[in-house]
Structure 1
């Protein structure tokens, strides 16, 4: 810009103009101006790149006013639709699936669910692995829809709650120690077998043991002895016919040989044997069987 000096003049006066006029330049010129324009251009490029990256991130991550991608923020919590992968621990008060789909927890190694106390101590743990499902808890319990306990396990006992426990394996149920139950029965049209391959089999009850077969027979087989003992009562064999085919026989007498009748005798040690029947007992005549 050029600054000019003017002087007021009246009529009849001569206007004197200065010989040397001063010129003052105001602004940015030269290399400073070019640097300023270059800096503004760089800022504009950075702004455009940041804006494009922001739009790309919003597009890729599926940001929306209600959430991000399959994750939506609801009034009562978070809603996740589809498969998701969590690389870090997930803390939630409750995890539920939709009404029309199941809840699936999947891991290439195992799935571990821990319950902690206020002191961060693990009070219960469920581990689902590729070869075993492990539960670490003072008590494990399975309930029905009505809340009735079906299966309960703790350090001292195992409780089975249903009315009937059914074992469908071909080898049956194996008890290494004692088993206590009020009733042992087989399925319809199936036989019931109680056996001990290498040891003895014992059935005890404070008020009696009842063995009943309504549509078949009862067999008691043993490699050594079969002992039926009653402490303060009687031993009752209630049947139309009681057969003891392998009893030892004494020397048959005339009456026994002619009629084929025998009487059952008992040795002092409880052994049974047959003796030919007569008008009077002949057990003492054949007592050599007890020797």
Structure 2
């Protein structure tokens, strides 16, 4: 509290003081002062709480000069250690695991990997779902570590680049259309069956078809006809014994003859039949079988 007092400027000078003296108070007093202190105290408490929360977040998130938690910032990019969960799409140029561990992508629904062009259009997609693996691309290719193509699929063909394609199913392999291959071979001590239950079975090759059974027999069964056809060559049956047990037989020799020798005759249409052998051919005598 300050009071303005009027004093005489010089001695002997008498100045009368006014009857009403005014008193001016400078500062904040009363309830305003208490509200100000309370507001300052509240700001101090908020500041301390924020500082404590900042320290707690830094401790929980494991912030460090090299990264945050399992995330480390290196000169080659970002490195994650342990299991990590992403709630939104992840965009990266390259993802690879550590040298001594594998890379695992896990999802409760499906895992989808997309490749986009500069315009944002999806050019390739790999989707791994709970019941199906779907690949959407112009070409699907599996290569070895040396870069050799092992399996390639596109809209026109499927190419298997391995030295051997092995089918282990009990029912074998089912082909609805033609198959082109240089060799079909069964496993050791297993039989090889080429079967067409409701249609015909055809084997064509520009330089011949070779059928070999090194330790067994070859059996050809057909409901109708079995046709061996050669355009420029001949049909060779090379064996110690060629047995045709169900050929049509010609007439017998004279009554009482014990001759059991026959010759094989051929009709103009290629039909084979047996004729009783004589001193000369008897095919012409029994040619009525051809009619």
TM-score normalised per structure 1: 0.90
The match for 1:80 is 80
- Residues 122 and 130 (structure 1), Cα distance of their counterparts in 2 relative to 1, 3 Å cut: same
1:271-286 paired onto structure 2 within 5 Å: 271-286=271-286
Q: RMSD of the TM alignment (CA)?
A: 2.7
Judge conservation of contact 1:142–1:150 (CA < 8 Å) in 2: yes
Q: How big is the shift at 1:182?
A: 1.4
Residue deviations 1:113-154, cap 9 Å, x none?
111111111111111111111111111111111111111111
1:259-274 paired onto structure 2 within 5 Å: 259-274=259-274
Q: How big is the shift at 1:47?
A: 1.2
Judge conservation of contact 1:255–1:276 (CA < 8 Å) in 2: no
The match for 1:130 is 130
Give structure 1 stretches of 5+ with no counterpart. Answer: none
Identify which range, 176-185 or 53-62, moves more after superposition. 53-62
Residue deviations 1:146-183, cap 9 Å, x none?
11111111111111111111111111111111111111
**Do residues 49 (structure 1) and 49 (structure 2) align?**
yes
Q: How big is the shift at 1:257?
A: 4.5
Judge conservation of contact 1:257–1:276 (CA < 8 Å) in 2: no
- Work out the CA distance in 2 between the residues paired with 1:120 and 1:2: 78
SS in 1 for 2:114: strand
The match for 1:242 is 242
The match for 2:203 is 203
- Work out the CA distance in 2 between the residues paired with 1:256 and 1:217: 39
Q: How many residues align?
A: 288
Identify which range, 194-203 or 76-85, moves more after superposition. 76-85
Q: How big is the shift at 1:93?
A: 0.9
- Residues 22 and 176 (structure 1), Cα distance of their counterparts in 2 relative to 1, 3 Å cut: closer
Identify which range, 27-36 or 162-171, moves more after superposition. 27-36
- Residues 62 and 141 (structure 1), Cα distance of their counterparts in 2 relative to 1, 3 Å cut: same
Judge conservation of contact 1:142–1:152 (CA < 8 Å) in 2: yes
1:194-233 paired onto structure 2 within 5 Å: 194-233=194-233
The match for 1:148 is 148
1:105-184 paired onto structure 2 within 5 Å: 105-184=105-184
Give structure 2 stretches of 5+ with no counterpart. Answer: none
Residue deviations 1:51-84, cap 9 Å, x none?
2222222233222222222212222211111222
TM-score normalised per structure 2: 0.90
Residue deviations 1:249-268, cap 9 Å, x none?
11121499523110001112
Residue deviations 1:68-113, cap 9 Å, x none?
2221222221111122211111111111111121111111111111
Q: How big is the shift at 1:22?
A: 8.7
The match for 1:71 is 71
- Work out the CA distance in 2 between the residues paired with 1:284 and 1:2: 159
1:24-35 paired onto structure 2 within 5 Å: 25-35=25-35
**Do residues 40 (structure 1) and 76 (structure 2) align?**
no
Identify which range, 60-69 or 181-190, moves more after superposition. 60-69
- Residues 91 and 6 (structure 1), Cα distance of their counterparts in 2 relative to 1, 3 Å cut: same
- Work out the CA distance in 1 between the residues paired with 2:257 and 2:99: 86
Identify which range, 50-59 or 96-105, moves more after superposition. 50-59
